[in-house]
Amino acid sequence: MMYFKKTLHNEAFNNLIELGNKNGFITSHDIKTLLPSFLLSSDQLPKVIKILEDKHIKFINSPKKEIKFQKYKKKSHNLAILELIEIAQNDGFITSSQIDKILPKFLLDPLHLNPILEILKKNHVRVISESSVKNDLYVIDVKRVPGPSLNPQGVYWKGDMQIVTTNQGKYIDTPPNVQYRNETPGYDWSSHVGGEPLIDFITSNSTADYPWIKKKNINSKQSKINNSKILEKNIDDIRVLISKDESSTCEFKESAVWGPGSSDKARIDMGKFQILKAIAGFSNSKKGGVLLIGVSDDKKIIGLEKDFHHRQNKDKWMQILIGNLKKAFGEDFSPSWLNQYFVSDEDRDIYVIEISPNSEPIFLDDAFYVRDGNTTKPLTGKAQYSFIFNRFPNLN
């Protein structure tokens, strides 16, 4: 037994043990409520928990919202209900067979069971049949979170993501209609929360392994995509984009070197500027976009041979382009949210830049650009403030 100098500390500890003996368990909420801050310190709390364990008092360390329920005289009954609640909170649902297995026969009597089920219902926990779990996908919850809060190794999401909790595991997905790189745009799972089970569904290829995510092979009518090839479009994909013409999410540029102008210097300056402006506009938009360099306004694949020749070779051309990006946008604009690669149409190269929507506004020489239909335009004054306020709520 532990004894403390202060009578207050001893009384608090004894009250905790008394509650544990009564219920058969102690929750983290009980400890934080009953014990003074001294006993919650990193050197004292482990000693407290050890004594509880020695007294066969189960310690439930859960940050989840505490669900209050009617306490019974038998500790085993209370522990069974607590176990049921813990599973239900972890999974977001509980099955009828789990209830039958966990609760003792006494609590399965409708007189006791119905109040337990009502408590679960009030706390948004679904009770579903075992057959439904095996055959269908249930969406339990959808939460929108900032991409940087996830940030698995090798993946860089600067925009929002959504965590989808289902009866068959948790998944990371892009928000509906948002395509950060080349993964499948997000599915609007939220419409199925608390609704009917999903038979046909789409999972994002941005799903990543985390310690808390169960990665499972769920059957779907959607064909499986090879992740090693997911980051790049092929020439057929590019032709489809070109056929749809320029839009709020796609723009063509014949060259990254030459633009309109009356002199070579003016044309080179404009060629550089028009690429930077397009990227800034897409990054500030909600959907991002794709910039195709080597494609004319009339949807013809021109290629980049003249660009390469002017810069000496292909590698030098790419080095200067990336250098321009770094100089214009600084460290805020890292290659992690620019997916860049070449696609060839016979002997003609197209340079593809896929721009993810940024989580913060991007400026180009103090100017703020946005995508408006198939054009990129600057915003100033009240219009700029209003756009940034609504587009980047994390800054408010």
Q: What is the 3-state secondary structure (H, E, C) of the chain?
A: CCCCCCHHHHHHHHHHHHHHHHHCEEEHHHHHHHCCHHHHCCCCHHHHHHHHHHCCCEEECCCCCCCCCCCCCCHHHHHHHHHHHHHHHHHCEEEHHHHHHHCCHHHHCHHHHHHHHHHHHHCCCEEECHHHHHHCECEEEEEEEEHHHCCCCCCCCCCEEEEEEECCEEEEECCECCCCCCCCCECCHHHHCCCCCECCCCCCCCCCCCCCCCCCCCCCCCCCCCHHHCCCCCHHHHHHHHHCCCECCEEEECCCCCCCCCCHHHHHHHHHHHHHHHHHHHHHCCCCEEEEECECCCCCECCCHHHHHHCCCHHHHHHHHHHHHHHHHHHHCCHHHEEEEEEEECCEEEEEEEECCCCCCCEECCEEEEEECCEEEEECHHHHHHHHHHHCHHHC
Confidence of residue 100 (pLDDT cuts 50, 70, 90): confident
At residue 183, the pLDDT reads 62
At residue 248, the pLDDT reads 92
At residue 130, the pLDDT reads 52
Calculate the average pLDDT of the chain. 77
Whether residue 348 is predicted with pLDDT greater than 90 in this model: the reply is yes
257-296: per-residue pLDDT in tens?
Answer: 999 999 999 999 999 999 999 999 999 998 889 999 999 9
Least-confidence region, from 142-151, 207-216, 230-239, 318-327: 207-216
At residue 250, the pLDDT reads 95
Least-confidence region, from 64-78, 288-302, 356-370: 64-78
Whether residue 1 is predicted with pLDDT greater than 80 in this model: the reply is no
Confidence of residue 91 (pLDDT cuts 50, 70, 90): low
